[in-house]
Chain A
């Protein structure tokens, strides 16, 4: 027998308490004079012995109760040999239907072999399905995720698993850490490798194209064509926009290498367009011979500059120096909603109406750039955002001289994206509702720095403004499995929507007010509406790692199998194991019995004393 928590036996020291109490109440032997004993009966002497016996019995019960309590907390156990009966064996048939299984007939071969093993029908929850109904997906396979799922399944079902995995054993499916492939102690893995030998494949690996075009009717596109395990070959690269081929050229793809195909001045009409780069002739994995992209041509977005007219000169000049920014400064501030960005230069204390309007604008998804200046320093706080401003400082950052940069104290939730050498923030970003606020520690003119006269000023203004307004930096395509953010805040009143390639809503109505991101599972074009009310189109492509059909080395697969058990061991062998069996329940029963008996004896003893008193 042993104890799980032997330190609780220190509670046996508490046995001293009833001993001490009972000793204090020992029968007093001090003689007391009495006038005459003639009326007392001799038998009383023996009843006092009986009483003493009852007293000692009560003491013994109390000692036993305390000892049992200490033992209960110490949690005793005994080693008990038990026969680990052969766990029920479950056969798991796993068919890899990742993107790469579309190569030649691999998926159909896998399904046929699986059906041969397990039969055509299999259970999916409460329903049955046919092996033949398994379809290819656009997702990438991950053996690490698969192994984790099998471990969880074994643990949940508490049964042995005989796993048969029908897969193309793709090297890119292996996790970074081999430990992620670990199987459960009762799992045996049999890998049925589909497709032998090397498989040559070409794919459109990437396409670089701006997500939005503003002031031009043309755009530039760069596509990268790559081959895996291939010989040198010539491929025809076509650019298709809204189903119509707008450009095409031939490229030579080196053996097992990549080539870049650039297309300039591709025409584009106003609005969103669905684009595709396609290579031909197709190979045995035709799905990666095309690459989807989304592009939109729109008018430049409006930027509102709030400040004195003289203060906007430098900013306006920098912004409008490049048409590619897609931004145009406007001075009309009657309604904030049409503006993609509002610049607040050197704001002091704003009036209530303006403050409320700006707050509403940002909360609804707008972007606000606050450039702190002398008026801001006098006000002591940053308008709208609320950070404290405590004076100015002179600093040289790079070769830019800040003569009176504001000392800003960041608030909770602020993200400092740029600092001076002494860690004081230059740029602070934060979110407010669905929108964003950028705080800059200096004005955008020459009032507090000579930044506008430096070469870095223009790209700074362009990039920052475009990034805030969302005019650049947006993606024309994402990969299957990437999360597309739908809202910035947890504000649940605004609903979101995603329409998939088949025109169906991808988010249920009940989830529309709660969903924070969307993860596409198949290729195609998706229409996205965010919580801030912005609409955009995005293209989804399969993970191009699936295009690399290189196999996992056989030794690696063998090592993976050996992390589990061999299938013969899984088949019904009982094992004798010695495991601890906790006795706490029985000790608890004894404690309860002792407590009940002690209370009965104690009440009898007390009633005797009361009668005597």
Chain B
């Protein structure tokens, strides 16, 4: 089933990241409802007493009217998972050959994930980084958290080079319980540098999903004539002929090296719809239930 609102080029025409997120998720959820394999249930499970800080929207006011006590509705599938999104904002994320940069695509994905988490009443947080951490929104399910996250995603800008070790330290500081960590990056660093940096994310039983965002031109570069390429992070230059030699083998080996690790590793091209990535996340979310 295809949904044109999951197409990144269509999403690029939508102003407002919140609208993008809603569009993506609702389209995704609608697809889930029609799929026999997935269910996104909002079925009532139980009541729990209201505590300070809980979202007043979930208070069952009928019960309050009858009992004068505030109780929150709890639904099936609601396990209060904590989602933290690590968004790579290095300079290389600005590359595009399809009209949608990797960074914008990553923002669409991140905003869709936080919106999905919001619907499932999970607490969600965000860390944007390049060679340093640029922004941190600690995970929370309080009222307004969604807008805070969307705003943080929206205002994120690309920086310089990539350093995976910094955000990991930051994450360890505020991650109190097990949850899902989603790392959205183009992973343009040697695999033996990335893996040791990302490995600590699995401590304390966290589920880690690596979304490797890649542009089609990065996967199979095609040049009609010799060109002078400039590295967007290092500013190194290299004259390249139309014959790219062993590039394809190298990048395939890099992807294979990342896939070998025990992470949930998912390659997503910027010319592909977002539903595949969302489905991957949702499957993991279901397994945790």
Contact = CB atoms under 8 A, between A and B. Distances in A.
Q: Do A and B come from one complex?
A: yes
B241 A44 contact: yes
A612 B93 CA distance: 26
B271 interface: no
B225 A28 contact: yes
Given A35-B92, A612-B222, A29 B228 contact: yes
Contact of B222 (A28, A35, A41, A613): A613
Interface string B208-251: 00000001001001111111111111101111111111110011
B226 A51 contact: yes
Contact of B245 (A31, A34, A43, A609): A43
A492 B246 CA distance: 87
A612 to B, nearest CB: 3
A7 interface: no
Contacts of A42: 238
Contacts of A612: 222-225, 241-243
Given A29-B228, A31-B230, A37-B231, A47 B247 contact: no
Interface string B179-205: 000000010111000000000000000
A20 interface: no
Interface residues on B, range: 35 or more
Given A32-B229, A612-B222, A38 B188 contact: yes
Most chain B Cβ neighbours within 10 Å, of A35, A37, A41, A51: A35
B92 A30 contact: no
Given A35-B215, A39-B251, A613-B224, A47 B243 contact: yes
A48 B241 contact: yes
A48 B223 CA distance: 12
Contacts of A40: 229, 238, 240, 244-245, 247
A32 B242 contact: no
Contacts, number: 107
Most chain A Cβ neighbours within 10 Å, of B221, B239, B251: B239
A603 interface: no
A34 B224 contact: no
Interface residues on A, range: 20 to 34
Contacts of B75: none
Interface in A18-60: 25, 27-45, 47-48, 51-52
Contacts of A611: 242-243
A42 B241 CA distance: 11
A81 interface: no
Contacts of B102: 35
Contacts of B92: 35-36
Nearest to B232: A33
Contacts of A47: 241, 243, 245
A30 B218 contact: no
Interface in B83-113: 92-93, 95, 102
Given A35-B215, A43-B245, A609-B224, A48 B232 contact: no
B238 A32 contact: no
A608 interface: yes
A35 B230 contact: no
B285 interface: no
A36 B238 contact: no
B142 interface: no
Most chain A Cβ neighbours within 10 Å, of B102, B229, B237, B246: B229
Given A40-B229, A609-B224, A35 B245 contact: no
A35 B232 contact: yes
Contact of A41 (B230, B233, B245): B245
Contacts of B215: 35
A25 B225 CA distance: 9
Contacts of B222: 612-613
Nearest to B102: A35
A52 B226 CA distance: 9
Interface string B260-275: 0000000000000000
Contacts of A25: 225
Contacts of B229: 31-34, 37, 40
Contacts of B259: none
A312 B226 CA distance: 106
B118 interface: no
Nearest to A52: B226
Contact of B231 (A29, A36, A41, A608): A36
Contacts of A45: 238-240
Interface string A569-613: 000000000000000000000000000000000000000110111
Contacts of A37: 229, 231, 234, 236, 238
A51 B241 contact: yes
Nearest to B231: A37
B247 A32 contact: no
A35 B237 CA distance: 11
A30 B226 CA distance: 10
B254 interface: yes
A39 B247 contact: yes
A34 B232 contact: yes
Nearest to B237: A31
B243 A608 contact: yes
Interface string B125-143: 0000000000000000000
Contacts of A35: 92-93, 95, 102, 186, 188, 215, 218, 231-233
A71 to B, nearest CB: 33
A47 B226 CA distance: 10
Contacts of A39: 247, 250-251, 254
Contacts of A28: 225-228
Given A35-B92, A35-B95, A48 B239 contact: yes
A612 B224 CA distance: 6
Given A34-B95, A36-B231, A37-B236, A44 B243 contact: yes
A47 B245 CA distance: 10
A41 B223 CA distance: 15
A29 B234 CA distance: 19
B168 to A, nearest CB: 21
A120 B137 CA distance: 134
Nearest to B247: A39
Contacts of B231: 34-37
A609 to B, nearest CB: 7
A42 B227 CA distance: 14
A165 B105 CA distance: 111
A321 B234 CA distance: 130
Contacts of B225: 25, 27-28, 609, 612
B186 A44 contact: no
Interface of A: 25, 27-45, 47-48, 51-52, 608-609, 611-613
Given A35-B92, A47-B245, 12 more contacts: A31-B230, A33-B95, A35-B95, A35-B102, A37-B236, A37-B238, A39-B251, A40-B229, A41-B247, A48-B239, A51-B241, A613-B222
22 contacts: A30-B228, A31-B228, A31-B230, A32-B229, A32-B230, A35-B93, A35-B102, A35-B215, A36-B231, A39-B250, A40-B229, A41-B247, A44-B238, A44-B239, A44-B243, A45-B238, A47-B243, A47-B245, A51-B241, A609-B224, A611-B242, A612-B225
**Which 9 pairs across A and B sit closest by C-beta, in order of nearness?**
A612-B242, A35-B95, A48-B241, A35-B92, A36-B188, A39-B250, A34-B229, A48-B226, A31-B230
